A and B are shown apart, each in its own frame.
Chain A
């Protein structure tokens, strides 16, 4: 685009967040616009449609107060950009990337289009390094790898922020000292939520390695759409040009999707499911796919979007379309939370699609143990609801052992403290203790050699034998 700024005063129509500007014939699609009100107030906008004779402009901050008379519309001959640099770590910005922490503006840096470009699948490197989060429900069952996009599906009132914070604090790739840089985008959240994270990052000292982008619930919808793009543009810069391992936390994607719906409605587009636009899948993908690793580069982007499922409904378009794009999901359960279990991870509904890569890099029995825990726990949950109807006594002896297993699994394996950081070995050892409740012939997901090596029965025997050998 040649960089020539053009100015018009010919607003023909104002509709919702849209301005139709007449007499324009050379607006570029996606061009950024500055709108100056007669009061001198400036707002930003973007060209949604350009034609010979008119342009349709979407105003970020909304059109309230704009009058067709005396308002100037300037076409800025560039797309929406943000200035990115390492200086941004340790700082707090608004959704457009402007400092709001009272500090100086970002001085050095490069302007980047916030929309980015799609990563070439032929240039990606498949994610593979196991990230130990210290949380058994995740590491044991659905381990995460560096460069993965793994969302938390939560519900209102559930401790997703706590969990995300615990992960951000504990996450490490073992054998490597380096820390994550954290890029945190709060999208349309309440003030106290934003402050929870800020305080948390300050207390843990992580703030120095964190860039925060905050838009609050009262900010206009268009800004909410821009916020994650600004954050991801910085993340890409840090990961692929500054060799950093970046953890991006996006919260709350439900607010993002609602902004998308609001704007789509204002544009009078044909709505899809529950009023969300038909292109929401592609739009969300344009964010979530900005994660991963690249061949020949050291850095990586690991994404952890957080969303609250309206009415705890996983089939709602927001979690549904997210799950179709992300590499798994961690689903929180109100039922477990009500029973006092933190982190209340519904392991059966949770999934890490890249767990296989992690299993290859942890302990040999990990994959089998996780598989067996799944098989046993899902059977146990089924039996539990059966027992609730027909009574425990009409279950077989083996089935009753499954019930006992489920109890231990929830109380010993899933449940842990906010400050409890378990190594993967600790997690697997707990798993074995619990599996030992079941008859050995039920363990058909675990290879014989691992049973002999890790099953407490054989371990104890071995330890006893070793002790005996020593004394002898």
Chain B
């Protein structure tokens, strides 16, 4: 029997209730006459300390608190895709209907998955009465959206012998589709949905190293700081540096099959934008509307802070669930700093000892727990499947200071660091990813894919280009002392080539229909063309042709090289080769002319 207690104290989102002996840590409770949703996060004698996920205005001592007997959980089943949920899994569109208002009213109870919708279920022929089933075994499929075939799986905590399974037909998420007798003799009715406690990772059979790149279509990421399927990354940066735009680009263009986008303590309009535009944008890999592969979780900055803390777990649990079907899932969280701040605020109310900058001492372990839910794995059950969860979290360091606790601790648990730089953003170098401070631990792992599928020279050219950029940085220091004219001709050419790399390769306009997404082949051709120009020009310089002369002769063509970003679509990349040939020919000509001139003079 779930307990019923009484409120003895209310302070912001924190409620203390007595008479709660018998309740569990992390149990979900309903607080007050309006039955606001809350979760126990400390027990002491018969007192329970509860963080409430809705505003507590108007609550008073003496009001009841009802236990539910179960931890904070999320419904998993068909109907998650294309929805927008709040931090504890309530669909915001359903809240809008019930509230009959554009504003979020509290105490509204709506289930995550629609109850009236019927899904056409196609049973797995191999599962018959008498079959032994265990966690993850696929009972059948539901075509959730044209893009996603949703596997209906035996939940992770169920196994036994199938007594009954329904035939092909239309069912709601609460209809029983199979009955399983457990070894203990208990009969379990399985439905299209099941519940899972969000704070508990869903188990996997075996974890693998991430070896496949997550193709994002962003050149600076894919070529220089690649993400891997099942990898972890952080994108820290001050306000306005491009965290959200980059995460949106990942959500829009990357080759994951399912996207979970968590707007955690950020702007309402950014979620609205996704909601209104993703149905119109096409997934570049399938041509279908993007929303068909997307789940949005929105606990914006003005929504209750405790639910912000929960939103991260809700999101990652959903991501794991689709991984369990064998999909590559990308989870992006904007912003993990707001989540950490929610943690801090609740800890403060609980009068816990603060560590650095007021954050609780368990900040690091919570971050570790979160990022370790990423990975590429063989999932339990049959048929055999491999799925992955890739996690990318935005970090919003106060004042852009990367030494602050959230950034510093996050760095310990991620493998890809995309450092955004206010100075680049101010000069409108987008994405403002600082190539000196960023890193990826996956370069060598994913190089194999690039060399097998795109070009065997990929690693060599990528490394050379990267070195060129580092060299530019050193040269700029020198220029600051002596000016550009004081450099050797070779060094001037390095600056020129680095500028081409910056303008024509690193920079990418997320809002240009062609530039926004560069397929691997296009990325390679662009990189190759810039580097081949550089090689040929270096030979010319070595033969005594000044850089200024080359620039004058080739200026328009070099502009064309940069403009391939906007002018060459992914299915016409041969045009880059043509342009390169033109450039090389023109360069040859220029060298000859120059030599003729100098001989004449």
Contact between A394 and B482, CB atoms less than 8 A apart: yes
* Contacting residue for A439 out of B93, B302, B555, CB 8 A: B555
| Residues of the B chain whose Cβ atoms lie less than 8 Å from the Cβ of A269 | 348
With an 8 A cutoff between CB atoms, is B265 at the interface? yes
Q: Name, among A31, A122, A279, A444, the residue most crowded by chain B CB atoms within 10 Å (CB to CB).
A: A122
The complex places the Cα of A459 from the Cα of B358 at a distance, in Å, of 61
A289-B301, A390-B483 as given contacts; A121 in contact with B60, CB under 8 Å: no
Contact between A390 and B482, CB atoms less than 8 A apart: yes
A25-B62, A26-B61, A30-B57 as given contacts; A116 in contact with B427, CB under 8 Å: no
* Contacting residue for A396 out of B95, B263, B485, CB 8 A: B485
A270-B348, A292-B268 as given contacts; A394 in contact with B485, CB under 8 Å: yes
| Residues of the A chain whose Cβ atoms lie less than 8 Å from the Cβ of B303 | 118
Q: Mark A308-341, 1 if CB is under 8 A from B, else 0.
A: 0000000111001101110111000000000000
| Residues of the B chain whose Cβ atoms lie less than 8 Å from the Cβ of A26 | 60-62
Contact between B239 and A295, CB atoms less than 8 A apart: no
* A231 CB to nearest chain B CB (Å): 16
* Contacting residue for B358 out of A52, A272, A282, A290, CB 8 A: A272
The complex places the Cα of A327 from the Cα of B267 at a distance, in Å, of 9
A27-B60, A120-B96, A273-B357 as given contacts; A323 in contact with B240, CB under 8 Å: yes
* B515 CB to nearest chain A CB (Å): 11
Residue of A nearest to B486 (CB): A394
With an 8 A cutoff between CB atoms, is B338 at the interface? yes
Stretch of B8-16, B132-140, B220-228, B447-455 lying at the A interface: B8-16
Stretch of A63-71, A124-132, A178-186, A199-207 lying at the B interface: A124-132
Contact between B298 and A282, CB atoms less than 8 A apart: no
The complex places the Cα of A441 from the Cα of B84 at a distance, in Å, of 46
* Contacting residue for A289 out of B60, B268, B509, CB 8 A: B268
With an 8 A cutoff between CB atoms, is B305 at the interface? yes
With an 8 A cutoff between CB atoms, is A123 at the interface? yes
* A251 CB to nearest chain B CB (Å): 21
With an 8 A cutoff between CB atoms, is B42 at the interface? no
Stretch of B99-107, B147-155, B590-598 lying at the A interface: B99-107
Stretch of A14-22, A348-356, A463-471 lying at the B interface: A348-356
| Residues of the A chain whose Cβ atoms lie less than 8 Å from the Cβ of B103 | 116-120, 123
Stretch of A86-94, A98-106, A221-229, A372-380 lying at the B interface: A372-380
Contact between B559 and A444, CB atoms less than 8 A apart: yes
The complex places the Cα of A292 from the Cα of B268 at a distance, in Å, of 9
The complex places the Cα of A269 from the Cα of B301 at a distance, in Å, of 21
With an 8 A cutoff between CB atoms, is A294 at the interface? yes
A320-B399, A396-B548, A441-B555 as given contacts; A29 in contact with B102, CB under 8 Å: no
The complex places the Cα of A339 from the Cα of B111 at a distance, in Å, of 61
With an 8 A cutoff between CB atoms, is A1 at the interface? yes
A29-B59, A48-B11 as given contacts; A122 in contact with B92, CB under 8 Å: yes
* A381 CB to nearest chain B CB (Å): 8
Q: Mark A20-40, 1 if CB is under 8 A from B, else 0.
A: 000001111111000000000
Contact between A395 and B61, CB atoms less than 8 A apart: no
| Residues of the B chain whose Cβ atoms lie less than 8 Å from the Cβ of A349 | 426
* A442 CB to nearest chain B CB (Å): 8
Contact between A270 and B60, CB atoms less than 8 A apart: no
Contact between B58 and A278, CB atoms less than 8 A apart: no
The complex places the Cα of A146 from the Cα of B482 at a distance, in Å, of 49
* Contacting residue for B276 out of A113, A126, A273, A286, CB 8 A: A126
Q: Using a CB-CB cutoff of 8 Å, which residues 258-278 of chain B contact chain A? A: 263, 265, 267-269, 271-273, 275-277
Contact between A30 and B58, CB atoms less than 8 A apart: yes
With an 8 A cutoff between CB atoms, is B283 at the interface? no
Q: Name, among B103, B305, B428, the residue most crowded by chain A CB atoms within 10 Å (CB to CB).
A: B428
Q: Using a CB-CB cutoff of 8 Å, which residues 161-184 of chain A contact chain B? A: none
With an 8 A cutoff between CB atoms, is A115 at the interface? yes
Contact between B275 and A52, CB atoms less than 8 A apart: no
* B14 CB to nearest chain A CB (Å): 9
* Contacting residue for A278 out of B57, B277, B345, B426, CB 8 A: B345
Residue of A nearest to B263 (CB): A121
Q: Name, among A113, A286, A389, A390, the residue most crowded by chain B CB atoms within 10 Å (CB to CB).
A: A390
Spell out B's residues near A (CB within 8 Å): 8-12, 16, 56-62, 84, 92-93, 95-96, 99, 101-105, 238-240, 263, 265, 267-269, 271-273, 275-277, 298, 300-303, 305, 338, 341, 344-345, 348, 354, 357-358, 396, 398-401, 426-428, 479-486, 503, 509, 511, 548, 555-556, 558-559, 562-563, 566
Q: Please list the 9 inter-chain residue pairs (A to B) with the smallest Cβ-Cβ separation, ordered nearest first.
A: A394-B483, A285-B301, A378-B427, A315-B399, A390-B483, A123-B102, A117-B103, A51-B9, A441-B555
Q: 6 A–B contact pairs at CB < 8 A?
A: A120-B99, A122-B298, A123-B101, A124-B102, A270-B354, A327-B269
13 other A-B residue contacts (CB within 8 Å) besides A118-B103, A118-B302, A441-B559: A26-B61, A29-B10, A31-B58, A48-B11, A51-B16, A119-B104, A120-B101, A272-B358, A278-B348, A282-B345, A315-B401, A394-B483, A441-B558
